[in-house]
Structure 1
Amino acid sequence: MLRPLKLEELRMSDRFSRDNAIGKVLLNWWQGLADDRASRAVLRRAGNTTAVVLSAPYQHLFRRLSAAGWKEDGASPANDRLAAAIGLLVHVEQDGPLSPAKAMSHKASGEEQPAVSELRFMRLLESDSPDSLLTGLRRVLPLMEQRVDVIELVNDVLFWGDKVKKKWAYDYEWPART
């Protein structure tokens, strides 16, 4: 089960934003993936958080994030969540304004159903480990034609728990029952 992180393990000040140093490092790295096909390929093949952590591209990014102020060291639960987030970012093509749940529920033009079905969304909310969250989100990201807010995705994975699940449940635009 994905246990809630204790305050000392991950502080709210560790949240990524477009304005703080760690957020800027992360966004620059993610934008650079377009030109770094080798790193992107390595991380796309990583099937779980351990494979992500053991990859050179993740370790290079982790060192840059640490230099920018990421306070977690070694094998902390926060770093497993960071690895899951990094493993997901290689599957995001465009940064955009929509939260992950809003992007999942967005309907493509002319479509009646959301990009991610209600059932699949509910299964995703049941994710109880960084690996199951990584696997579930990797499967739905290609279905989402809309852009997703990269920073919000990372923060949601880092702070995954009841609070984020409830936020997603409210953000998802549930299909009307007929």
Structure 2
Amino acid sequence: MKAEFLSWWHQLHSETAPGPVRADRASLRRAESVSAVVCLPAYQRIYRRLLDRHEGAPWLPHEQDRIAALIGLAAHLKDQDGSSLPDAMSRRAEGSDRNAVSELRFARLLESPDLDALFVGLRRTLPLIEHRADPARLADDLFGWGDFVRKQWAYAYRWPDKPGA
């Protein structure tokens, strides 16, 4: 499934993407929630592609929601730079002592009570990291979201030093 997802993502962000693909990208970017993503024809097209190539047990409802969150967020990623999300969020502009994403915003992401809250938080965070991260790692993190991934993110994020510490 991941290979099919990445193929779709590359097509979605291709410089030579045809008009209908660009329209799908635009509609996915406008979706403000996981439910809104699910209701889009653009999402249903990629979901059906993924479903056709899926082997094994049918997806459970929470897995379907994670796929929708992934597709909705992936539409916002413009560049695949190999960075995990916490690496990208703690990236600093040259000469700056501030992370792209503040400690408070990052901590709120870690505390997301459910997938919808995480989706909204990440959707708002992606512009701060210039829409650059690794879509494959995004997929892994969304599908594995829970205490383990939260801890991995906390370890990967470069927390700024406090003055006087």
Alignment partner, residue 137 of structure 2: 152
2:9 paired residue number: 30
Partner of 2:44: 59
8 Å Cα contact 2:76/2:131 also seen in 1:
no
The one-letter amino acid paired with 2:149 is: V
Is contact 1:106–1:146 with CA below 8 Å preserved after alignment? no
CA deviation map 1:6-60 (0-9, x unaligned): xxxxxxxxxxxxxxxx112111111111222100111111111111111111111
| Aligned equivalent of 2:70, options 65, 85, 106 | 85
Q: Is 1:48 the equivalent of 2:33?
A: yes
1:96 is the counterpart of 2:81: yes
Runs of 5+ consecutive residues of structure 1 not aligned to the other structure: 1-21
Corresponding position of 2:105: 120
The structural deviation recorded for 1:110 is 2.0
Is the CA contact 2:90–2:101 (under 8 Å) kept in the aligned structure 1? yes
Letter in 1 for 2:29: R
Task: Give the structure with the larger helix fraction.
Answer: 2
TM-score by length of 1: 0.83
What one-letter code is carried by the residue in structure 1 that aligns with 2:89? M
User: Contact between 1:84 and 1:134, CA under 8 Å: does it hold in 2?
Assistant: yes
In structure 2, the CA distance between the partners of 1:71 and 1:90, relative to structure 1 (3 Å rule), is farther
Give the C-alpha shift of residue 147 in structure 1. 2.9
Q: How far is 1:164 from its partner?
A: 0.4
Taking a change above 3 Å as real, the CA distance of residues 109 and 146 of structure 1, as seen in their structure-2 partners, is farther
**CA pair 53-146 structure 1, distance change in 2 beyond 3 A:** closer
Structure 1 letter corresponding to 2:146 = G
Q: Residue 64 of structure 2: SS of its match in structure 1?
A: helix
Percentage identity across paired residues of the two chains:
45
SS in 1 for 2:81: strand
Q: How has the CA–CA distance of structure 1 residues 98 and 70 changed in structure 2, closer, same or farther, with 3 Å as cutoff?
A: farther
Change over 3 Å in CA distance of 1:152–1:74 after alignment to 2? closer
| Mapped partners of 1:118, 1:104: distance in 2 | 9
Given the two structures, how large is their TM-score scaled by the length of structure 2? 0.89
Kept after mapping to 1: 8 A contact 2:77/2:131: no
CA deviation after TM superposition for structure 1 residue 62, in Å = 1.1
Q: CA RMSD in A?
A: 1.6
Is the 1:108–1:145 Cα contact (8 Å) retained in structure 2? no
